[in-house]
Structure 1
Amino acid sequence: MMQCSDFIKTEFPLIDDDLKQYVQDVLENGADDFQDSDEIYEAVGEVLHEIAAEKTEKEIRCICDKLLNMLRPTKNTQNTNGLAKVLHAPVHLGSMAANLESTVDDMKSIWVMQRDDSLKVDAKKLEKAQAKLQEKAEKRQKETPRVGNNAPKLESATASQVTSKKEYKLEAKGNNKTQDIRIENFDIAYGDRVLLLGADVTLAFGRRYGLVGRNGLGKTTLLRMISGGQLKIPSHISVLHVEQEVTGDDTLAINSVLECDIVRETLIKREKELSAAINSGSSDPELSTELTEVYAQLQNIEADKAPAKASVILNGLGFDKQMQIRATRTFSGGWRMRLALARALFSRPDLLLLDEPTNMLDIKAIIWLENYLQNWPTTLLVVSHDRNFLDTVPTDILYLHSQRIEAYRGNYDQFLKTKTEKHKNQQREYEAQQQHRAHVQEFIDRFRYNANRASSVQSKIKMLEKLPELKPIEKETEVILKFPDTEPLSPPILQLNDVSFWYESSKPIFTNVNIGANFDSRICIVGDNGAGKTTLLKIIMGILAPTVGMRHSHRNLKFGYFSQHHVDQLDMSVNSVQLLQQTYPGKPIEEYRRQLGGFGVSGDLALQTIGSLSGGQKSRVAFAVMCMGYPNFLVLDEPTNHLDIETIEALGKAINKYNGGVILVSHDERLIRVVCKELWVCGNQSVRSVEGGFDEYRRIVEQELEAAASK
């Protein structure tokens, strides 16, 4: 390299030390990569031209040739190792191969360059280098956590957006006062996967939007992008996304809700400060004036009515008067999520974002929330897979599919009708155009070489080119779930006789329960949160023993239990196939893949780490794990949480086709109506069967809500 340095100094005597060092470093670092002098010219030629403007490009390229010879002295010897021959006539390789021994030198002279012995690799050195590379690779493998053969990637969602100049100027000047929200031409990706491409969303103030689409397409991610500011909306619009539960501390539940009104809290705090100063003997007249103004502002915002308003919201979401004055730390995660929802409803932001709000609620609270949101005064964007909720609350539906969002007026039922009709029309239009194209193309093919029809043919060709390109409707793949077939068992299958249960040092949860189930059972259990539904399931399965009474079950009864927390307990660091291998070892890979495929987890999806799957996809994996043990009686506790509408429909069909028994705890009204043959209601320390099914139960709940509202 010193030779190159001296050569550069000789050719460019005016070069300063820094530039010389830069050129030298470029040449030194790329010595093994430069294939010819052109690559050296591309790397440093521009710099050399600036140093010596008087030199022509040809002279600089000549210098680059010399630099290449200094860096790679053997680079240009390849043409001297063998004599290049010019072929004056075609060569017949077959005849040359037949006389291989006599013509081998000729063939080499044409096709083979003799290698310089100095370029041959030393076998021992090669072996040593490979050993070092292997050692480095093993070290990297130990330092990097791996799942199977695939290192998990920490992926995150990203968004990009095009903002119009008009809106940008209005926002910059602070003149943007619109309450409508327009997010135009935006993209969202999660890791390497594009979720939305060139999408548009318009949210008109005061309307309620339901965002629907298959699991894993990006609905939750879109809400997070809006609330997190990655997608820009007018800065004066307040946004609240109910996603995380309230932090547990000593704050009372009702005070936790009241704290959301920042204006009211600030005024009350200031009123206390001013009153304390005046009561301590201050004679400053400005304090009295300010206190009068604070009282006026508190009266304007109706601050005295806020506690009653907060109490109504909490009561509607299941908090009785005693619960409202309990510290937030005393509540479980599900109740803290309800508190977060109550805070959002109380604060009334300009844009409220809700993600599966019914997941944490019982049927009574869902009915109350449906009624409350129908009078929501600002803009609402909600992700939900509850068909009844989507038929009751939204004024518009946003349909996410094929990396874009389509807007439909009306509730979910109206959306389905409109979408079906729209797709039928689009398919008819596509088929009609295809027939027209085929007819015109037939004319073109028939008269293409007819001189008398040349002008007609050309006009037909131009007409085809101008036709808009229509595409056939892409049908979404049907979701199919399949529970394993079971062998019938002779009754009695399951019976609880005079069962009472209570935990230590607590009041009874159940007293004198007498219920039974068999393989024909399709039993749905409903009731308020905390009424003991999950406890009843555990007694039925024998996980908990009755305090009083007897549980009888068939000796060959095998339960498949889907817990509402089952999804959260999956190992998030492995993929779905590996999870089944861990749970049920010793089976062929094909059997694990087939099991997952029966629940819609197939292809590359089965090889993704479970932590990267959507909530609905995790639920399907949990179903696959449950059914791999071939149960003959299913106990499903809130199985619809996180499932999309199509999968809930498939779940209902799968339950009806299953030839074992089913006991289901659910708040999804549509699923209950599809599968329920018998309805059990938990409450008041009892379990009773309701004649008239879900319709009768809903009527009872609505009467209770009306009675509570009239108090």
Structure 2
Amino acid sequence: MLSLNAITVRLGGRTILDRATATLPPGSRVGLIGRNGAGKSTLMRVVAGMLEPDEGGAEMPRAARMGYIAQETPSGPGTPFETVLAADTERARLLHDAETSSDPHRLAEIHERLNAIGAHAAPARAARILVGLGFDEEMQQQPLDSFSGGWRMRVALAALLFSGPDLLLLDEPSNHLDLEATMWLENFLKSYRATMLIVSHERDLLNNVVDHILHLKQGKLTLYPGGYDAFEKQYAERLAQLESARASQATQRAKLQDYIARNSARASTAKQAQSRAKALARMAPIAAVAEDPSLSFDFPSPAELKPPLVTLDMAAVGYAPGKPVLSRVSLRLDPDDRMALLGRNGNGKTTLARLLAAQLPAMEGEMNASGKLRVGYFTQYQVEELDAGDTPLEHMGRLMKGATPAAVRGQLGRFGFSGPMATQKVGKMSGGEKARLALALITRDAPHLLILDEPTNHLDVDAREALVQALNDYGGAVVVVSHDRHMLALTADRLVLVDGGTAKEFSGSLDDYTDLILGRTGDGAAAKEAPKRNRKDERRAMAQAREQSQSLRKSAKAAEADIARLEARKSEIERAMFDPGSATPADAERPMSALMRLLAEISADLAGAEARWLEASEAVEKAEAA
């Protein structure tokens, strides 16, 4: 069991965690979620003992072993295989003692313990974990210093999983993984028998692995049973209750204010008015649910081009002369295509993306593209290369030379950078905000083709969902590389497998590909025979449903505004009828018969507005359920 007891952390004068409290049941698998910057990594560092909180703390059983990946990646001449084996410190110590001890009794104890912990099977287990994370036999024996930082982070993850702690802490474990390794990790964690606390924005992992969601918001923690879909439903119900309470309170406040205004001056009712004024002062306002600008993605749709946009005919592409990374590639991209590139890191997905973006030439074969084709190409390098000292307005202004200030701000506004957000320094922005800015920059000229290489790395779950909707509403073609299976399932209608030095259409579904990767379909024959879903039609239907739902919500909101206006007018007329002294001058001059006619008209209009609101609200519920 892990107990988080009133943890408070203040950094730079800002309260990150505010008496955050929760108790994790023994053996539970908990997904820690929250918006970017909410303090998830800060909480993980407190639990791991790497950060001393200002108040409170985390408690777990003394005998429990905790595992957490430090920020420093392993390095040196050692190999990934050696590093992972060394992570089991008890096994390493016992093997050393077995070599140095001459005491027969001690040797018997050592070998008995080695058998108990399965030490002899450890090398095979270490190799299986490394293979799952993308290391073939040859890579397992190469020095760590020959790998990039992302691959060394995989070694650190493999070592952590191999060590088998009682409490497993994982902070965005899939950030350095490709889709295939992410699938393997998810499958591995399903069978891992220990308490887990996982920071993740991967919806599939949060649905398939965890059994509780720990939501961090405004420094507070709330524990929900179930996976992410269950949390989303519970949280939506909670927000609806909050909004209902806020509306009810607003009505009550209006009645109190009305009573105070009408009765404060009268001696007979002054005390009651004072009492109500005190009640009004004690009533803590319930804040409305604020709209979040970080959920804003709106890709400008381009003018139509005749198909095809791009064709590849037996094309080869690479970096060194005579050494292509990919060969014999034949593909066609049309204006409404949604293509996902599948395959392990290092197989050539980014190389193919760069060929489609015309950043690399075809070494052999042919590549033909429309002369008017505009391409927006997103990579993590663009996020990292943003000038920290400049603002979004300055970045966009440099690229949109000659455009009016309104046009520049309009493009930024599509991605949530309006008002003060357009003039904040990039260096003070979160990773998610920088990713949104990079997307705003590459789509400034309404490209016909969007190529997105891992666009979700810095985005939380809600922002990823907003990105999915924006891509489905976008009028151009999309090519995406991502380890987010949920996003691929909702946006891609074509799958292209980059493997074995070439790229070919994968005719099965994403689920078929998952089965293939996890070894559930043998040679993949079943996957290749699987019927292909018509994702284009599904995507169009989803976009139409969202458009209809938005229209219905606008109707409901308009009816709600009419109800509020008519109720206020009804109250004014009733005041004029029964308390002429407090009525408006215009109403005070009306005869009683005119006031009664007005009241009847307003009451009829009010009944109509309420009927319209009820009809629109029911239609919204049906549309969203569908």
Asked whether the equivalents of residues 680 and 687 of structure 1 are also in contact (C-alpha less than 8 Å), the reply is yes
Alpha-carbon deviation of 1:496?
0.5
Alpha-carbon deviation of 1:619?
0.7
Residue by residue over 1:660-699, the C-alpha shift from the partner in whole angstroms, topping out at 9 and shown as x without a partner, is 3221112222222222122211112332223343233334
Change (3 A) 1:446 1:542: closer
Residue by residue over 1:432-458, the C-alpha shift from the partner in whole angstroms, topping out at 9 and shown as x without a partner, is 344455556666766667788789778
Q: Which of 471, 475, 483 is matched with 1:659 structurally? A: 475
Change (3 A) 1:447 1:543: closer
The residue number in structure 2 matching 1:222 is 43
Q: Which of 249, 254, 260 is matched with 2:76 structurally? A: 249
The residue number in structure 1 matching 2:28 is 207
1:672 equivalenced with 2:493 (yes/no):
no
SS at match of 2:174: helix
- In the alignment, the residues of structure 2 paired with residue 226 and residue 676 of structure 1 have an alpha-carbon distance, to the nearest angstrom, of 39
The residue number in structure 1 matching 2:58 is 233
Which structure 2 residues correspond to residues 262-661 of structure 1 after superposition, within 5 A? 262-274=89-101, 287-436=103-252, 438-439=254-255, 469=284, 471-477=286-292, 479-501=295-317, 504=320, 509-581=325-397, 583=399, 591-661=407-477
CA RMSD of aligned residues (A): 3.2
Asked whether the equivalents of residues 456 and 484 of structure 2 are also in contact (C-alpha less than 8 Å), the reply is yes
User: TM-score, normalising length from structure 2?
Assistant: 0.74
SS at match of 1:422: helix
- In the alignment, the residues of structure 2 paired with residue 201 and residue 506 of structure 1 have an alpha-carbon distance, to the nearest angstrom, of 60
Alpha-carbon deviation of 1:460?
6.8
Alpha-carbon deviation of 1:539?
1.8
Residue by residue over 1:329-359, the C-alpha shift from the partner in whole angstroms, topping out at 9 and shown as x without a partner, is 2222222121111111112334333222222
Highest Rg: 1 or 2? 1
- In the alignment, the residues of structure 1 paired with residue 399 and residue 256 of structure 2 have an alpha-carbon distance, to the nearest angstrom, of 61
The amino acid of 1:337's aligned partner reads M
Change (3 A) 1:565 1:463: closer
The amino acid of 1:272's aligned partner reads E
SS at match of 1:357: coil
Residue by residue over 1:464-492, the C-alpha shift from the partner in whole angstroms, topping out at 9 and shown as x without a partner, is 788x6461442443622122342323334
Alpha-carbon deviation of 1:309?
1.9
Asked whether the equivalents of residues 2 and 58 of structure 2 are also in contact (C-alpha less than 8 Å), the reply is no
Alpha-carbon deviation of 1:549?
0.8
User: TM-score, normalising length from structure 1?
Assistant: 0.66
Asked whether the equivalents of residues 66 and 165 of structure 2 are also in contact (C-alpha less than 8 Å), the reply is yes
Change (3 A) 1:567 1:226: farther
1:180 equivalenced with 2:5 (yes/no):
no
Which structure 2 residues correspond to residues 18-29 of structure 1 after superposition, within 5 A? none
The amino acid of 1:408's aligned partner reads Y
The amino acid of 1:370's aligned partner reads E
Asked whether the equivalents of residues 486 and 631 of structure 1 are also in contact (C-alpha less than 8 Å), the reply is yes
- In the alignment, the residues of structure 1 paired with residue 160 and residue 428 of structure 2 have an alpha-carbon distance, to the nearest angstrom, of 28
The amino acid of 2:38's aligned partner reads L
- In the alignment, the residues of structure 1 paired with residue 517 and residue 346 of structure 2 have an alpha-carbon distance, to the nearest angstrom, of 16
Residue by residue over 1:76-118, the C-alpha shift from the partner in whole angstroms, topping out at 9 and shown as x without a partner, is xxxxxxxxxxxxxxxxxxxxxxxxxxxxxxxxxxxxxxxxxxx
SS at match of 1:566: helix
Alpha-carbon deviation of 1:421?
1.3
The amino acid of 1:187's aligned partner reads V
Asked whether the equivalents of residues 250 and 328 of structure 1 are also in contact (C-alpha less than 8 Å), the reply is yes
Asked whether the equivalents of residues 311 and 332 of structure 2 are also in contact (C-alpha less than 8 Å), the reply is yes
Alpha-carbon deviation of 1:589?
5.5
Asked whether the equivalents of residues 245 and 333 of structure 1 are also in contact (C-alpha less than 8 Å), the reply is no
- In the alignment, the residues of structure 1 paired with residue 286 and residue 129 of structure 2 have an alpha-carbon distance, to the nearest angstrom, of 49
Change (3 A) 1:247 1:457: closer
Asked whether the equivalents of residues 313 and 367 of structure 2 are also in contact (C-alpha less than 8 Å), the reply is yes
Asked whether the equivalents of residues 211 and 226 of structure 2 are also in contact (C-alpha less than 8 Å), the reply is yes
Alpha-carbon deviation of 1:529?
2.0
Change (3 A) 1:462 1:640: closer
- In the alignment, the residues of structure 2 paired with residue 584 and residue 226 of structure 1 have an alpha-carbon distance, to the nearest angstrom, of 47
SS at match of 2:58: coil
The residue number in structure 1 matching 2:517 is 701
The residue number in structure 2 matching 1:175 is none
The residue number in structure 1 matching 2:530 is none
Asked whether the equivalents of residues 610 and 618 of structure 1 are also in contact (C-alpha less than 8 Å), the reply is yes
Alpha-carbon deviation of 1:613?
2.1
Identity in percent: 35
The amino acid of 1:220's aligned partner reads S
SS at match of 2:312: strand
Alpha-carbon deviation of 1:620?
1.0
Residue by residue over 1:107-164, the C-alpha shift from the partner in whole angstroms, topping out at 9 and shown as x without a partner, is xxxxxxxxxxxxxxxxxxxxxxxxxxxxxxxxxxxxxxxxxxxxxxxxxxxxxxxxxx
SS at match of 1:385: coil
Alpha-carbon deviation of 1:256?
0.7
Alpha-carbon deviation of 1:591?
4.7
Alpha-carbon deviation of 1:551?
0.9
